């Protein structure tokens, strides 16, 4: 049994070829748009509709096997790194996204001083700035 099959079964999800293919694509890392995921899935499976990929991503996200992020002004992206409440830094120049760890071994952002009685399970923190490539391009323009 592959790692993907085990993951799906562990969350009570039926094992299907599109689900395995999407998991496989996400396992390569990064924060991928649906178009990119679909393109890579089609290299593994003959024909998969974009809608089918959306459906799979929805099921995987609900099951906690993928994480969906949607920085302002950018299409939704998906990643396989889940469950650690890590944050993201987004480049204002090119849209590049990188991971930023919450404090190792804990997630202090999940313990606000007051949560108004809510039980908090995720803190969506997005840092904005310029990536190294865009910084270099900007100083070259000066
Ligand atoms: Zn950039
Ligand atoms: Zn991430
Ligand atoms: Zn944090």
Average of pLDDT values for 31-43? 96
CATH code: domain 3-69 is 1.10.10.10
The reported pLDDT for the residue numbered 116 is: 84
Output the CA 142–ligand 2 centroid distance in Å.
32
Residues of the chain with CATH 1.10.10.10: 3-69
Question: What does the pLDDT average to over 7-31?
Answer: 96
Within the chain, all domains assigned CATH 3.30.1490.190 are found at 84-141
Closest listed ligand to the CA of 138: 1
* pLDDT bracket for residue 124 (50, 70, 90): confident
Distance 16 CA to ligand 3 centre (A): 35
pLDDT given for residue 105 in this prediction? 67
Residue-level pLDDT at 1:
61
Detail the residues annotated as belonging to a binding site for Zn(2+): 91, 94, 131, 134
CATH architecture assigned to 84-141 = 2-Layer Sandwich (3.30)
pLDDT in tens, 67-88: 999 998 889 999 999 988 899 9
Q: 39-76, pLDDT tens digit by residue?
A: 999 999 988 999 999 999 999 999 999 999 999 888 99
Count Cα atoms within 13 angstroms, Cβ side, for 40. Answer: 16
Q: Residue 31 Cα, ligand 1 centroid: separation in angstroms?
A: 15
Task: Report the pLDDT value the prediction gives residue 121, as an integer from 0 to 100.
Answer: 81
How far CA 69 is from CA of 94, 96, 137, in Å, comes to 17, 13, 27
């Amino acid at each position: 049994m592959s790692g993907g099959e085990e993951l799906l079964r562990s969350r009570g999800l039926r094992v299907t070829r599109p689900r395995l293919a999407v998991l496989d694509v996400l396992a390569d890392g990064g924060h991928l748009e649906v178009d990119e995921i679909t393109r890579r899935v089609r290299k593994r499976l003959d024909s998969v509709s974009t809608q089918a990929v959306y459906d799979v991503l929805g099921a995987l996200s609900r099951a906690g096997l993928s994480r969906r992020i949607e920085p302002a002004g950018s299409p939704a992206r998906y990643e396989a790194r889940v469950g650690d409440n890590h944050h993201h830094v987004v480049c204002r120049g090119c849209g590049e996204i990188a991971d930023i760890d919450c404090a190792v071994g804990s997630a202090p952002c999940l313990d606000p001083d007051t949560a108004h009685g809510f039980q908090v399970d995720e803190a969506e923190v997005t840092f904005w700035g310029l990536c190294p490539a865009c910084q270099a391009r900007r100083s070259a323009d000066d």
